[in-house]
Structures are given as structure tokens and as C-alpha cells.
Structure 1
Amino acid sequence: MNAPLWTAHELLEATGGVLSAPFEASGVSIDTRTLAAGDLFVALIGEGRDGHGFVADALAKGAAGAMVHDDVPSAGPVLRVDDTLAGLARLGGFARTRFGENGGRLAAVTGSVGKTTTKEMLRGALSAFGTTHAAAASYNNHWGLPLTLARTPRDAQFCVAEIGMNHAGEIAPLARLARPHVAVITTIAKVHIGYLGSIEAIADEKADVMRGLEPGGIAVLPADSPQLARLRAAAGDAVVLTFGTDPAADIRLTGMDPDADGSLIQVDIVGHQASLRLNAPGRHMAMNVLATLGAVAALGLDPATAIEALRAFVPLSGRGARRRIAVGGGIALLLDESYNANGTSMRAALDVLRLQPARRRIAVLGDMLELGDEGQAEHVGLTDSVIGSVDCLFTCGPLMRHLFDAVPAALQGGHAVDSAALAPMVAASIAPGDAILVKGSLGSGMKRVVDAIEAVSSRSSTVIAGAA
């Protein structure tokens, strides 16, 4: 019989807590909606919600036990700790040590744009070499990273951890917990500049991922970034591999033939020539491939095997997934980029929209947040990209109002105060042959627009290989 993910002895050793009764766990959960039988339920306290109130529900659903720091009525075993968030971090740290002692190697991915997509590409590429564990969704913060580590299977040979931030000082402690063998920085862009103040400060924060590098670890850095020299300096004595279009890049894009559904790309991987048909259009997707291949090379693995695995990559929901939508007796194409947005990713998504053969190319855009004093300028700065890619523009939010007013009247489809008000306007306007891009920061709630568009169809959308 396979050993459980967590034995009672390991739970005690990892957390320093006290067990009401011994139990072992096959998984770790923080959400009763997705909890599986046998999981350890960790009662975290979040914004407006206390997990201690869900302990009874978790145990009723088959949780092996619960980690708590408050008194709760319990019909099952509990692991009492001083603080559940700190307890989860200690659990993650113990799992990371156990993983390393078993010979596992960890790649950490950060950057202003492309973290989750690159993480998913790495998941697929490394799975061709051995058992690979990676973060679920965008689990990249103070609870998401420890949870990812705590879930690492005993037999995992590779782990891919995503590390994100909103404010200065957040990446370094996560990097030290993850202790990566390879640290990837995808991009440096004006994301969270409202909190950090400058592009240089953003670069410094992203560079902190290298503070956690294991001895002999390798940094994979974007060769085309104006901040490359700053990132190199932060790498110190660590070995550096670069990726991009720069002639000096170690992993270099040497050719690219894009179309509506993807791109044929040619790459040079430290002197090794290769080509790949990528089922995701856009230059930004090609850059994510290069970052992935840089991590593969840093781990000393065969790039040809990784390239073969990457042929199966398909973008995630909310991050470029493409869906055919039945509408008005015909078919429209939905480009779902609803999860997040910034100036760099907006331009990339608009470039993908421009490639689509469509009756009308419709962009539905919500506010890009956390831009501080640069908010208005960043939104107006999208004007040329919109004019070059869009036949009809819908927007919502006070910042996107500036962009809406800046484009020619012939392109203005409609503006609303928020996504809830905009969604029915968009749903009523789409017709067969349209290609519709939906994108905005998470706080703009653009998933509401996606849901409204999908509700237009009387049958389920079909996810196809695709974009951004």
C-alpha cells in the first residue's frame, strides 16, 4: 500500500501542533467545495470568511481531520496549531524538504505577465520526464505557495511553483520557502506600479525570486527586457540563462509564422535548433515557450522531449482559452482573457484578436487596476492597438472610459459603469461570425461578461486549441 501524503507523525513534526487523535491525510484542502475524502482541511481565516466555521462541513464530507487554532465543535480529529496560516507554511516547508531529500527538483516561476501560462507549459514539459506536481490555478501568494508545496506527492520528481506579489517584500519569503533549483522571470512590466512606484522597483521585487535559489541554482531571465542588466546583477553568483529574440540570448526565437490558431516557431536552445507548432497564437505565447525551454535546459533535460510535450499545450480558461459559441443560427468565437490584464497583456491579446478571420472583431475590456497615477495614461495608451485590431469596442469602469472616449466613434459599441451592466449589452450585440475578446483585471469582474456570452448559446461551448 502506498504511504499517505501525510502521516500523523509528520503532521506533528511539521507543524509543532497537537493532535486530538491520530490520523493520516491523502491530500490538503482549504475549501470544502473542492475537498476530497481523506484530505486534511486547513481552517484559514481570509477576507470576510473564517475556515473554522466550515470544519464540521469538511469532516462530514470525509476530511481525515482539520487543522485549527480556535475551539471548534468537532465530530472528528483536529490538529491544533498556534495559527493555521503559519501552520500551513510550516507544512509546506516540511514537504519541500521531504521532496528535496527524495531527489526532487523545483522550478519557480514569477514575472509581470505569463506566470501561470509558463507554469502550465512547464507542467506539461516536465511531465514527459517524470512525475510532476504544479500549483493549481494561480496559487502564488502567502497561502497558495505553501498549499502547493504541502500537496507535493511523495513520488514527485519535479515541482513547478508559481510566485506572485502585489506589494514590495512579498516574493523573497516565498522564494526562500520554495528554494527553487531554477528560478524563471517571464517579464518585467508596469504591473502593480501603483504599489511599487517604478519599473525598476518592479524588477527588484521580481528579482527577489533568486534569493531562494538552492546552491548551484540557475536563473532564467528575459533577454529582451530593458531591466536585464538589473536582473543579472541581482542574480549574483548564480548561473544565468537568457531567453528572447536578442542575438545573445541562450534560448532564442529565430523564426515565427503566426496564424489565427497558433504559430510555427523556430528556436535555438543553446545551439540546438528546433521547431514547434504551438496551438496558441501570439508572440507572447512564443516567449512563454522560450522561458519554459530555458527552465528545461537549466534542469539539464532534453529539449527535444520537452518540445514534443509542448505540442499538446492548450491555453487555460480566462487566459486565452478559445470557445466556439452557438449564436443566432451560427457560430461566434470567444477569446476568454477574463482572468487578468495589464498594458503588456492587453496589447498581446489585441494582437491575437487582429489575427482572427471574423465578420467583426469585438473587444470587451475592463479596467486595468493597480496602476496608480499612471492609470489614465496606460488606458489611453491602448488606443492605437485598439484601432489596429478592433471593429467594435465595449468597455466598463472609470479607467476604460478614457480609452472608450479616445477611439473613433465608429468603433464605440458601448460603455458601462461595471461588468454587470456591460454583460447584457455585449450578449445582445454578438452575431454569427464575430470574434469576441473579453479581458480586464480580476477586480473588474469580466468573467460576468464571459458567462453572459456563453449563456447566449443553448448548448455547451467547445474548447478548442487557442490563444493568448
Structure 2
Amino acid sequence: MSLHPALRQWPVLPRDRTGTALWTSAEIAAATGGRASADFQVSGVEMDSRDVRGGDLFVALKGETTDGHRFIDKAIALGARALLVDRPVDFPHVLVPDTTLALHALAHAARDRAQAIRIGVTGSVGKTGVKEAIFAALDRGSRGAAHRSVRSYNNHVGVPLSLARMPARSKFGVFEMGMNHAGEIRALTAHVRPHVALITTIAPAHIENLGSMEAIADAKAEIFESLMPGGTAVIPADSPWCQQLRAAGERLGHKIVTFGRSADADVRLLDSIVAANGGSLVTADLGDTRLCFSVAEPGEHWVGNALGVMAAVRAAGGDLGAAGLALAEMGGLKGRGARHQLRVPGGKALLIDESYNANPASMRATLRQLGQTPATRRIAVLGSMKELGDFADGFHAQLAEPLAEAGVTHAVLVGEEMRALARALGKGEGGALAAGLTFAHCDNPAEAIAALEEFGLTGGDAVLVKGSNSVGLGRLVNHFTSRDG
């Protein structure tokens, strides 16, 4: 049977000749300088034995307190196809002198073999959500040829692992980079070597370690240091540190693209109105064109995020139409805005899960969002914000005003640092800052669950749960959502 002429003439691209396996044993050995014990192919790369899936390469990393080689049997039992190890084992493997260095080498090989446009994302607030939005936009526009780091794999292990997982056929790669000390993003961006680098915002996260907002901005600007030649630095025009970030990018010779509400922003907000689903309808000016698109995620902060997404997608050569559709369809991520409907006496209550992370800027943004959420009563469960050092008491106490502005009826405050907010709310006659605002302070999530149960949720309530991940408010979210299911 002969092929239709149109099929015979279909262009064959170099990526079409690439194998479908993520890695072969020969490729892993060549990338790492190791020695393969057998011929094999793997479909994934994993460093945590608990997360191994069938067909994975399990990388036995050695840390300060544990050694991944202890979990080889568990990884094999869960379906690992092969291992990356520093000692011979009785399973298919590649033997290397140092598994951490080998993972880095594998990451660099994945980066260099794929003809992918790479986008790096950092910032004090919104990294993961913006990374997911850029990925959704590029994946839709490229029909499934985009790759990204999953979860918050944004540190010295997660970034190389995410790179090592990038298929050779990828057209785009989106990588999140986090830090809590100066110099960390410099090392991460050297792995990724992005073509586009986006800073979402500058806020007092990790100020305990960095000492000042200017130092935080400098640390975030490290993402520009390993941008590819001709790369684009995407920065927030409305930030007080915009000029500092711009100067950092310009010193390195990069193209600068700004986004925000500022009159001189390259991707500028013209108008936004709240949509019926709680999101926003946005009109933006990109200089040579205007876009009107919907953003499913609620809150003014997501209007700004969406402008950054559009700037990054355009800089990467992506499809802006597909980006608009992706933003219209995005749902909240677990711990970062996921919304749950709880069955309670009198109907349903809304629970907004922001339990994964918190700093002063994101606290204010999500409390503002809570204030715009239609509800009979608004309840805030707030966990301590970490890594604020000597600034902690002041930043926690300052949340009293946004709580009142949001029309919060009741607050459950969790963690030692939240005592400063409890004191601020307890000042004045009547024992509360604002009329009708009551609160309880708890030491841990278990006490917070009991306090919220005692308060009692009813139909029409809206509950915001937000705090640093180490506080453990995900337990409270799981308690109420699993009981409801």
C-alpha cells in the first residue's frame, strides 16, 4: 500500500529521529563517565525511593544524614528499571564515582541534547504558580512538547533532577529556582542556562538570612548570570526594586522586558475586571499588539502574574493565543490556591488551601483575595511566617490591618510567631482590633483543627488556610477535605 503524497512529503525533523526512551544505559554512561552493567532503557529519573514508578532510573544520592543506597531494594520493588550508584549492586546499574556529580552531568546532557527553549522562574512570591502557568501555555501551544519541574523541585537537587527528566524531544523547558541564601540561584541557573529568566516579585521572604530587601533583590537577580547569549530578563515593573533588577540584567547585556501596571511597562495592564467565576478578565498592551484574555485564578496578584506569564511566553517564542486559553483553564494547585467545597450545616463552605508557603507579601495578597470572596463569614487560619529573623514580630503584627480590611469574622492563629499578631488583635477595649473580629491562638495544627471545629463552619463560610509549609497546616486542610469526601 502506497502512502498518500501529502504524507510522503511530511517534513521529518531531527527530533523525529530521537528515540522515545528517556535514557538508554549507553547514554547515561556517556553522560556521566560511568560504566553500565547491562543494556537497558529508562522512562524516568527519581531520587526518592518512595516516589519510584515502573521504568525509572533510581539515583542513589548520598546526603549528610542518609544514603540512597540503603533504599535500593525498595526502589527495585516499586519498579525501578535500573540504578545510578557509586558501588556495584546486583541489579542493572551505571557505576559512577559520585552520584550527585553524576546527576549534574546527566542534567547537563539532557539540557544540551534537547533543542528546547528554557525558561527559568524565581521570585519571593508566586514562583510555582507562574511556572505552572508558563508550562501550561507552552505545552498547549506546542501540543505536548513542553517540560517543567514538578512540585517545588527548585533547589540544588530538584533543579538537576528536573533537567535530567527533560525528554530529548522537548521544545520548551520551564524550571523553578528557589533560594534562602545568596549564591544559591547562581548555582541553579548555571545548571539550567535559560534563554528567558523571569522574576515574579521581590518580597521579604528569607530576610532573616539576607538582611535587607536590596540583598534579596540582588540574590534573585543571580538568575540573569547564566542566561544564554541574547537572552531575555523579565522583571516586574511595579516593584520598588525594578531599576536594581534592570541594572543587573543590563550589565550582563540581556534584553529587558518589564510587566505590570506601570505606564512604562513593556507588557502593561490596561484593564481588569472580576469575572463571574472569581477570576479576572484582563486587557494588556504588549506594545505592538493588545490582548484580552481570562485568568481563572482569583485575586489581583494573579492579574500581575498573568502579565509576567505573557511576557515570558512571548520572549520564548510561544503562542500567545494558547497562553490565554491556558490561563483561562488553570485551577488552583494543592497548597497554593486550590479551592474545596465542604459540606457543612446549612450548606457548603469554601476552603482556600494556601498552606504550602507564606511571607508578608503573599499573606496580604491572599487576605485581600479573601476579602473579595463572597461569603456570609470570612475565616482565616494563619500559620507562622518563617525565616523573618528579627523582623518577625513586626511583620506578623502588621497582618492585623489586612485582616480587618478583608472583613474577617474569626482568625485561628497557629505557631509561636503568630503571638505577635494575637497581641496586636488583643489591644484596645473589647479585646479585638475590629468590631466583630474574634480570634484564637494555637501552638500546632492539631489545636487549630480543634479550634476551628469548636468555632463551627456553616453554609456560606469562606475559610483561608495559609502559612509556611513547616507549620503543617496541610494537616488541617486534609482533615476537613477528607472528612467531607
TM-score norm. by structure 1 comes to 0.93
Q: Say if 2:26 and 2:36, in contact at 8 Å, map to a contact too.
A: no
**Residue in 1 aligned with 2:472?**
445
- How many residues are paired up? 453
Q: Pick from 421, 438, 453: which aligns with 1:427?
A: 453
Please state if 1:372 is matched with 2:389. Answer: yes
Which one of 98, 103, 106 corresponds to residue 91 of structure 1?
A: 106
Matched, 1:20 2:37: yes
For residue 398 of structure 1, the aligned residue among 416, 421, 429 is: 416
Kept in 2: contact 1:340–1:440 (CA 8 A): yes
Query: Which of 419, 431, 437 is the matching residue for 1:411?
Result: 437
How far 1:210 sits from its partner (Å)?
0.5
- Could you tell me which runs of 5 or more consecutive residues in structure 2 were left unpaired when the two chains were aligned: 1-17, 426-430
**Per-residue CA shift, 1:208-265, capped at 9, x if unaligned?**
0011100111110110111111111111210000000000000011111126721111
1:424 deviation in Å?
Answer: 2.3
Corresponding residue to 1:337 among 334, 351, 354: 354
Q: CA RMSD in A?
A: 1.6
Q: Equivalent residue for 2:6?
A: none
1:31-430 to structure 2, matched below 5 A, reads 31-46=48-63, 48-70=65-87, 74-99=89-114, 103-130=115-142, 131-235=145-249, 236=251, 237-258=253-274, 261-328=278-345, 330-389=347-406, 390-407=408-425, 409=432, 410-428=436-454, 429-430=456-457
1:157-181: CA deviation from partner (whole Å, max 9, x where unpaired): 0000111111111001110110101
User: Secondary structure at the residue paired with 1:311?
Assistant: helix
Q: Secondary structure of 1:394's partner?
A: strand
Contact 1:244 1:252 in 2 (8 A): yes
Letter aligned with residue 441 of structure 2: H
Describe the superposition over 1:377-396 as per-residue Cα deviations: whole angstroms up to 9, x where unpaired: 00011111001111111001
Q: Relative to 1, partners in 2 of residues 1:342 and 1:293: Cα closer, same or farther, differing over 3 Å?
A: same
Code of the aligned partner of 2:103: L
Q: Which blocks of at least 5 consecutive residues in structure 1 are unaligned?
A: 460-468
Q: Distance in 2 between matches of 1:177 and 1:340?
A: 25
Distance 1:395 1:417 in 2: 8
Contact kept, 8 Å, 2:124 with 2:201, in 1: the verdict is: yes
Shift, 1:112, TM fit: 0.6
Q: Please say which of residues 33-42 and 305-314 is displaced more in the overlay.
A: 305-314
Matched residue type, 2:201: T
Instruction: Encode CA deviations 1:100-146: one digit per residue, 9 max, x unaligned.
Output: xxx21101101111110100100111012211001111111101111
The residue type equivalent to 1:244 in the other structure is G
Supply the distance in 2 between the matched residues of 1:188 and 1:127 (Cα, whole angstroms): 27
Deviation at 1:405? 2.2
CA distance in 1, matches of 2:462, 2:170: 41
Residues 20 and 77, structure 1, Cα contact 8 Å, conserved in 2: yes
Tell whether the 8 Å contact from 1:427 to 1:452 is kept in structure 2 after alignment.
no
Aligned-pair distance for 1:303? 2.2
Matches of 1:83 and 1:373, distance apart in 2 = 40
Q: CA deviation at 1:425?
A: 1.7
Letter in 1 for 2:200: T
Letter of the 2:411 counterpart: L
Equivalent-residue separation in structure 2 for 1:112 and 1:445 (angstroms)? 20
Q: Separation in 2 of the partners of 1:452 and 1:309?
A: 31
Q: Percent same amino acid among aligned pairs?
A: 45
Give 3-state SS (helix, strand or coil) of 1:345's partner: helix
Tell me by how many angstroms 1:305 deviates. Answer: 3.2
* Preserved contact between residue 59 and residue 75 of structure 1 (Cα < 8 Å): no
CA distance 1:172–1:359, change in 2 (3 Å)? same
Q: Could you say which residue in structure 1 is the equivalent of 2:12?
A: none
Distance, in Å, in 1 between the alignment partners of 2:343 and 2:107 is 45
User: Could you tell me which residue of structure 1 aligns to residue 13 of structure 2?
Assistant: none
SS at match of 2:462: strand
Q: 2: CA distance between counterparts of 1:258 and 1:26?
A: 43
Structure 1 residue identity aligned to 2:261: T
Runs of 4+ in 1 over 6 A off after TM superposition: none
Of 45-54 and 330-339, the range deviating more from structure 2: 45-54
Which one has the largest radius of gyration?
2
